Each structure stands twice: as C-alpha cells, then as structure tokens.
Amino acid sequence: MNGHVDFPLNGDQIRLIKEAVGRKCEFDRKTRVYKNLHLHHIIGQAEGGGNNYGNLIVLCEHTADDCHDKADHGRILKKKLRAIISRRPKRMRAEIIEILKGNY
C-alpha cells in the first residue's frame, strides 16, 4: 500500500461532475439526462483505479449505442479516453478537481 486512501464519491459529486462536462457523454458529445450518464473509471476500481481526475470520464449508458458498455469491453480504448480527458478545457478541469476535493 502506498498510503493513499481513495474515498468514495458521493451522489452530489457524481451529479456535479456530469454537470461540469455539460451533461454530455464525453465520447459522443451528445447531451443526455443524468440517469443516462455514467461516471466511468478508465482503470476499474477492482483493478486499483481510483477516483482521481485522470481516471474519471462521463460516458452514456442505457442507450441503444452505449459508450460505457463499449469502454468496459475494450471497444473504446483507454488511451482514447485519456486523450479526451487531456483535451478538457482548463476551466472544466479546475471545476472537476475542486468537486473531487469536496469543494463545491
């Protein structure tokens, strides 16, 4: 263990992150209602992926063409998801980091 404690995100944080990205699937860029968006871990929590900025991306789910399912099954590559995160506007990045810190 490296001493890092990964606190679970609460419902407000999850909702606010979906809001911060414009309530869009960050892969297909289509606006969705909250319940059709999933805060996806690029490295799954079971594999040690945490609730850190670079590991979290908002993807659609419960639709006919579901990006979350594709990402979970390797049909959207992790490097593609990381590239999308790296292109987020500075202001969006700052907002998400504050939400993750609990400052909201």
Binding site residues, Zn ion, CB under 5 A: 25, 27-28, 60, 67
Please state the φ and ψ torsions of residue 39, each to the nearest 5 degrees.
-85, 105
3-state helix, strand, coil in the chain (%, to 5): 45, 10, 45
Q: How far is CA 14 from CA 1, 8, 20, 21, 81, in A?
A: 26, 10, 10, 11, 18
Min. distance of Cβ 68 from Zn ion in angstroms?
A: 7
Q: Which is nearer to Zn ion, 25 or 99 (CB)?
A: 25
CB 76 → Zn ion: shortest distance, Å?
A: 9
CB of 25 or CB of 42, closer to Zn ion: 25
Q: Which C-beta is closer to Zn ion: that of 84 or that of 92? A: 84
